[in-house]
């Protein structure tokens, strides 16, 4: 997609400005931020999905994050030169035109019907099929080299636009330290200026240690509100991932307690809300891999990582969590208005995209709030295995408003992915039980690649179509 088309898709006439629902309180207008032109979302490839992280044995296992990631080929990076890159963009523009014509002939409904979905998915891997796995392997190697060169250069400022393009399609898992540093930069925690990164990191980690001394250690002297908050955090942390032994270690739970308690102290407008605890997990795991080469399922954190490095992991997780929550803070204020609004927007979007599925849910009295509230509150973390979540966050962090805006389109694509199964169910109970227990245990990079590609397509088709919600206002008057 050319940059001009992308800018048009995020213009001031986008859905987000003209929607009858008011703008999210405390958030900037998405139309004011130009998102980067990412790699062609049609060139999606993937590898083999492995068993979920939570299902890995706690004692001996042949699989790990490194092994899983090493098994995944990334056909998003098939471009070996300017000519191939231009060819991929040309194919994508041609397919997009065909899809838009198809949508226009069907009144923009049924975009995820079996026909249109098959057309899109079959074309989305054509570059991989034509060039073959050997070319994909070379491309992945090139991508890893690009990422290393981009992040490890000590003399130049990091090209943030190039980093976002690499991260959008998934960061190379053959170099977990690269992902760790990339996430810190994409969050805004580390500056792009390489010469300043060491100084900023040391200063922020020291600042966090002062917070621990000032607020956490004397917590028993705080008023009842903060003592109640700490008790709730203590209750929630063991529930995060009860089948993953790593999160049942006392050392790890104490780190999470400090992170969440200090965040609530510094944000009295919202305080701690159930669900925020889940959002620490991806940062903790990614940053832990900086210091652990063995399988995370088997590692004894207190023994394998020095106290100095544990303090660094904890501080970095705190600051990156803070950066993410700053963008979705209204999700966790009183009555959680941000989530309420996003659920309404999701329902309206799905009604326009796939009226058949929306009517089926409505006919059986399934309300979007009953299943989508958790999707927004936990950012799909309860719906996906942890390694799939980490891959999804590569894309979210590379988007200018990944957690606040792009997440809505991901949720829409995620729901419509299950359309065939949902239409087979004909009563409220079975529908709701299925939506609250979706079979994603084996999801990995391949499924997430397709999911974000569908979400990107949706955002491209609807971002410049503000009238797609106009009929709703009329019907509800």
Mean pLDDT (whole number) for 436-463? 94
Q: Which CATH class is domain 3-174+335-475?
A: mainly alpha
Q: Is the pLDDT of residue 262 over 90?
A: yes
pLDDT, tens digit (0-9, with 9 covering 90-100), for 111-162: 223 333 332 333 333 333 334 434 445 555 577 788 888 887 656 788 899 9
pLDDT score for 156: 72
pLDDT score for 439: 96
- Tell me the CA distances in angstroms from 14 to 11, 250, 354, one per residue in order: 6, 48, 20
- Transcribe 65-128 into DSSP letters: HHHHHHT---GGG---SHHHHHHHHHHHHHHHHHHHHHHHHTTT--TTSHHHHHHHHHHHTHHH
| pTM assigned to the model | 0.70
Report which secondary-structure segment, H or E, holds 119.
helix 114-124
pLDDT, tens digit (0-9, with 9 covering 90-100), for 40-85: 333 333 333 333 333 333 333 333 444 434 443 333 333 334 444 4
Backbone angle region of 163, left / alpha / beta, with phi > 0 → left and psi within -120 to 50 → alpha: alpha
Q: Is the pLDDT of residue 281 over 60?
A: yes
Positive or negative, the CA dihedral 339, 112, 114, 96 is negative
Half-sphere exposure of 124 (CA within 13 A, CB side): 24
DSSP annotation of 467: G
Judge whether 175 and 402 are in contact, CB under 8 Å: no
Ranges in the chain annotated CATH 1.10.472.80 = 3-174+335-475
Mean pLDDT (whole number) for 159-182? 86
Closest CA to 293 of 52, 66, 71: 66
Judge whether 209 and 315 are in contact, CB under 8 Å: yes
- How many whole angstroms separate alpha carbon 139 and alpha carbon 145? 10
Q: Is the pLDDT of residue 191 over 50?
A: yes
Phi, psi of 305 (to 5 degrees): -120, 135
CA angle, corner 181, sides to 175 and 183, nearest 5? 105
Q: Could you tell me what percent of the chain has a pLDDT over 90?
A: 50
pLDDT greater at residue 161 or residue 7: 161
Q: How many residues are present in the chain?
A: 477
- How many whole angstroms separate alpha carbon 382 and alpha carbon 241? 9
Q: Is the pLDDT of residue 39 over 60?
A: no
């Amino acid at each position: 997609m050319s940059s001009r088309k992308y800018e048009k898709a995020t213009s001031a006439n986008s859905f987000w400005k003209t929607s009858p629902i008011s703008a999210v309180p405390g958030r900037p207008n998405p139309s004011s931020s130009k998102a980067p032109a990412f790699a062609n979302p049609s060139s999606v490839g993937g590898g083999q999905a492995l068993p979920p992280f939570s299902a890995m044995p706690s004692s001996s296992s042949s699989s790990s994050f490194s092994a899983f990631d090493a098994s995944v080929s990334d056909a998003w990076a098939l471009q070996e030169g300017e000519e191939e890159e231009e060819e991929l963009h040309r194919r994508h523009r041609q397919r997009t035109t065909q899809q838009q014509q198809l949508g226009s002939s069907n009144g923009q409904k049924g975009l995820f019907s079996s026909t249109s979905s098959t057309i899109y998915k079959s074309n989305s891997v054509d570059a991989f099929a034509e060039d073959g796995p050997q070319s994909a392997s070379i491309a992945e190697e090139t991508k890893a080299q690009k990422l290393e060169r981009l992040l490890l250069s000590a003399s130049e400022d990091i090209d943030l636009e190039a980093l976002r393009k690499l991260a959008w399609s998934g960061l190379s898992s053959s170099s977990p330290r690269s992902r760790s540093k990339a996430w810190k930069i994409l969050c805004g925690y580390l500056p792009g200026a390489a010469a300043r990164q060491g100084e900023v990191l040391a200063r922020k980690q020291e600042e966090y240690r002062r917070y621990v001394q000032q607020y956490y250690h004397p917590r028993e002297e705080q008023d009842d509100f903060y003592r109640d908050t700490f008790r709730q955090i203590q209750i929630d942390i063991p529930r995060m991932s009860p089948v993953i032994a790593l999160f049942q270690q006392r050392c790890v739970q104490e780190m999470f307690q400090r992170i969440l308690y200090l965040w609530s102290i510094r944000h009295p407008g919202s305080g701690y809300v159930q669900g925020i605890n889940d959002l620490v997990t991806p940062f903790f795991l990614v940053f832990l891999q900086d210091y652990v080469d063995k399988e995370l399922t088997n590692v004894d954190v207190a023994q394998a990582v020095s106290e100095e490095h544990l303090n660094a992991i904890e501080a970095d997780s705190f600051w990156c969590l803070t950066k993410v929550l700053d963008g979705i803070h209204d999700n966790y204020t009183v009555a959680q208005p941000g989530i309420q609004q996003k659920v309404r927007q999701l329902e309206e979007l799905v009604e326009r995209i796939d009226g058949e599925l929306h009517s089926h849910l409505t006919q059986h009295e399934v309300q979007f709030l009953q299943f989508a509230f958790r999707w927004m509150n936990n950012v799909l973390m309860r719906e996906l295995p942890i390694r799939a979540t980490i891959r999804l966050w590569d894309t979210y962090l590379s988007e200018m408003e990944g957690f606040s805006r792009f997440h809505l389109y991901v949720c829409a694509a995620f729901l419509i992915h299950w359309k065939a199964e949902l239409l087979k169910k004909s009563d409220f109970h079975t529908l709701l039980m299925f939506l609250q227990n979706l079979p994603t245990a084996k999801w990995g990079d391949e499924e997430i690649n397709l999911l974000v590609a569908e979400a990107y397509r949706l955002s491209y088709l609807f971002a410049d179509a503000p009238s797609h919600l106009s009929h709703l206002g009329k019907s509800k008057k």
